[in-house]
């Protein structure tokens, strides 16, 4: 892998085995890359993803509540800001150009895969501590970072705006910042050898399950083809 987002992510990624490959090399992703993804599937994904981001913003806000350091708070607050004030704008713009207005996005009925994923993450945070929440949030952040880094910024239409959002230096820096914060959060709570902590298996389980839910999310997108 050419990108590095910290040792916590590297360990969790390795522990997720095949699920990680299924997520980051999904047919939906390959279709974005070579431009063969049907437009209807992309729009179906984008409408669902708008609602997804609403709930992910809520989950990152919970991260603020569960933080133990100002640095953790800064990363969570920055992510909420990026999500609600910037990342969602891409969805709104793209959908507006296709005649789908923001009211339609906000009130879209969630597909079961979407609902399952966001509520799973939220519950991981409500039930557990900051690390439980971060383990469930991590696949989303680093997976899109890894996909963006692999696809690169040199793409033709139709999906270059989407790809560039995640391939660009700005998002890659976000992933590095979150990775650094996550390493510090783990060291603070579990010490220098976190994999030997009795909590590690549970954190790995949260990460792997969230990764599987990302796979389902892509497959749900393809259903719109």
Ligand X SMILES: Cc1ncc(C[n+]2csc(CCO)c2C)c(N)n1
Binding site for ligand X (CB under 6 A): 49, 52-53, 56, 79, 82-83, 140-141, 144, 174, 214, 217
Decide whether 142 or 200 has the Cβ nearer to ligand X: 142
Cα–Cα distance for residue pair 156/170, rounded to 1 Å: 20
Q: CB of 52 within 8 A of CB of 216? A: no
Q: Is residue 110 annotated as part of the catalytic site, yes or no? A: no
What distance in Å separates the CA atoms of residue 122 and residue 118, rounded to the nearest whole number? 6
Catalytic residue among 72, 111, 146, 214: 214
Active site residue 111: no
Rounded to a whole number of angstroms, the minimum distance from the CB of residue 68 to ligand X is 20
Instruction: Give the shortest CB-147-to-ligand X separation in angstroms.
Output: 9
Catalytic residue chosen out of the listed positions 72, 140, 146, 212:
140
Q: Which tokens hold the place of 123?
A: 């519950």
Whether a cis peptide bond, with omega within 30° of 0, leads into 158 is: yes
**Is there a contact between 191 and 197 (Cβ–Cβ < 8 Å)?**
yes
Least separation in angstroms between residue 133's CB and ligand X is: 13
Taking the least distance from each CB to ligand X, the nearer of 59 and 186 is 59
Nearest residue (CB) to ligand X, 56 versus 159: 56
Residue nearest to ligand X (CB): 140
Q: Name the residue nearer to ligand X (CB basis): 134 or 140.
A: 140
Q: What is the C-alpha to C-alpha distance for residues 214 and 208, in angstroms, rounded to an integer? A: 10
Q: How far is the CB of 17 from ligand X (least distance, A)?
A: 19
Active site residues: 140, 214
């Amino acid at each position: 892998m050419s990108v590095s987002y910290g040792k916590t992510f590297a360990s969790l990624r390795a522990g997720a085995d095949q699920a990680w490959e299924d997520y980051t090399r999904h047919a939906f992703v390959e279709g974005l890359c070579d431009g063969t993804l049907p437009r209807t599937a992309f729009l179906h994904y984008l409408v669902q993803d708008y609602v997804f981001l609403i709930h992910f913003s809520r989950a990152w806000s919970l991260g603020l509540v569960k933080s133990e350091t100002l640095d953790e708070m800064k990363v969570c607050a920055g992510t909420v800001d990026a999500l609600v004030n910037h990342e969602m704008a891409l969805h709104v713009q793209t959908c507006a150009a296709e005649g789908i207005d923001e009211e339609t996005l906000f009130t879209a009925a969630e597909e079961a895969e979407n609902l399952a994923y966001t509520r799973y993450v939220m519950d991981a945070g409500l039930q557990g501590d900051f690390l439980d929440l971060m383990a469930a949030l991590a696949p989303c952040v680093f997976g899109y970072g890894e996909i963006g880094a692999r696809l690169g910024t040199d793409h033709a239409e139709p999906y270059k705006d989407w790809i560039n959002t995640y391939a660009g230096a700005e998002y890659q820096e976000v992933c590095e910042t979150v990775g650094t914060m996550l390493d510090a959060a783990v060291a603070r709570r579990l010490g220098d050898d976190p994999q030997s902590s009795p909590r590690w298996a549970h954190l790995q389980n949260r990460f792997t399950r969230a990764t599987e839910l990302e796979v389902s999310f892509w497959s749900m997108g393809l259903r719109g083809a």
